[in-house]
Copies of this chain bind each other. A is one copy, B any other.
Amino acid sequence: MSPRDGALIRAAYGEHVDHVPVWFMRQAGRSLPEYRAIREGIGMLEACMRPETVVEVTLQPVRRYGVDAAILFSDIVLPLKALGLDLDIVAGVGPVVAVPVREQEQVSRLPEFDPNRLEFLQAAVRALADELGDVALIGFAGGPYTIASYLVEGGPSRDHARTKALMRGAPELWHELMARLVEIVAGTLRLQVRAGASAVQLFDSWIGGLSPRDYRRYVLPHTQAVMAAIADLNVPRIHFGVGTGELLPDMASAGVEVIGVDWRVPLDRALGRIQSGQAVQGNVDPTLVLAPWEVLAAEATEILRLGRAAPGHIFNLGHGVLPSSDPDALARLVDLVHAFPVEDGG
């Protein structure tokens, strides 16, 4: 068997599955003691650029949980860092960019995509694809809007006020910036698929802060460009952002096979808004993992039940695993999902 025949890829394409596939955003990371041990004394971006660390960290949750997919351990700003942009991930803060990108000058100076500078990524993906066998490996990239927001703000931001000021005040410069990022994002995803990734997920985490009108005007064409640039690779394309209930119909027009749904929008409503046949992924509130098992189990079961009406359903949280999550609760959740009958036996 190859990953292509496994439940995750089959569900992504809306094909019949023998069990509901499951993985967790940020399944590799701070909630795992074995991850915290390996990260001791190593910065986040440094860890992401060491193939042997990436391989080990990516495999940890697969070993522990028996999930249906590994997700490449990485960060959305990693490609820019590897291509030479001066940025870092500061613990407790997030990505911090040395010179915020707000003028033509800085946009023009953004690095070009260069696969040679991402050889560590190819090496990691190749080794992972070998190790994983029939378990799917999901390639990872940040979406252009979310990356742009870090570049323009210079770091994390609550309102993305400068980002939105740039896109509305200097739309030509904005579209140029986004086009530059599309090239880097698409290049990074192509490289991962060519090295063996069996699916990709575009994390455009912060698009949910945009109204649908703004999303369609300033972001969607660029997401479509990313997706079009990898269409020939024939792997499922998953697209995810937080708080995107109002954007789902537009996200469905981006050229994707799977749409990630956060926990704010009930899965049945999400399905009603996605009329173009895509599979869905999600949508458990990540804080439910901290709840008593009976509460988590009841919500998970309800979501699995609603997921039966989807063309395909990949079980996941509605955002990343919280660092304070108990790995045993996630392990139990995987067992619950795998034991859930894919068809109503009634």
Min C-beta distance of A330 to chain B, whole Å: 15
Q: Are A288 and B246 in contact (CB under 8 A)?
A: no
Question: A164: which of B168, B169, B246, B291 is its contact (CB, 8 Å)?
Answer: B291
Min C-beta distance of A332 to chain B, whole Å: 16
A:181-237 near B, CB below 8 Å: 208-214
With CB as the reference atom, state the residue of chain B lying closest to A287.
B164
User: Is there a chain B Cβ closer than 8 Å to A243's Cβ?
Assistant: yes
Q: Are B266 and A213 in contact (CB under 8 A)?
A: yes
Question: A265: which of B169, B246, B322 is its contact (CB, 8 Å)?
Answer: B246
A:228-254 near B, CB below 8 Å: 243, 245-246
Interface membership of chain A positions 258-269, coded 1 if the CB is closer than 8 angstroms to chain B and 0 otherwise = 000001111001
User: Is there a chain B Cβ closer than 8 Å to A324's Cβ?
Assistant: yes
A308-B337 Cα distance, complex, nearest whole Å: 47
User: Is there a chain B Cβ closer than 8 Å to A159's Cβ?
Assistant: yes
User: Is there a chain B Cβ closer than 8 Å to A90's Cβ?
Assistant: no
A271-B149 Cα distance, complex, nearest whole Å: 31
Q: Are B208 and A159 in contact (CB under 8 A)?
A: no
Min C-beta distance of A311 to chain B, whole Å: 22
Q: Are B211 and A285 in contact (CB under 8 A)?
A: yes
A295-B161 Cα distance, complex, nearest whole Å: 15
User: Is there a chain B Cβ closer than 8 Å to A346's Cβ?
Assistant: no
Known: A243-B243, A264-B208. A160 touches B269 (CB 8 A): no
A175-B143 Cα distance, complex, nearest whole Å: 40
Q: Are A159 and B322 in contact (CB under 8 A)?
A: yes
User: Is there a chain B Cβ closer than 8 Å to A89's Cβ?
Assistant: no
User: Is there a chain B Cβ closer than 8 Å to A3's Cβ?
Assistant: no
Interface membership of chain A positions 124-150, coded 1 if the CB is closer than 8 angstroms to chain B and 0 otherwise = 000000000000000000000000000
Q: Apart from A161-B322, A164-B291, A210-B264, what are 11 other A-B pairs with CB-CB below 8 Å? A: A159-B287, A161-B290, A165-B291, A168-B295, A208-B243, A208-B264, A211-B264, A213-B299, A246-B264, A246-B266, A246-B269
A-to-B contact residues, CB < 8 Å: 159-161, 164-165, 168-169, 208-214, 243, 245-246, 263-266, 269, 285-288, 290-292, 295, 299, 302, 322, 324
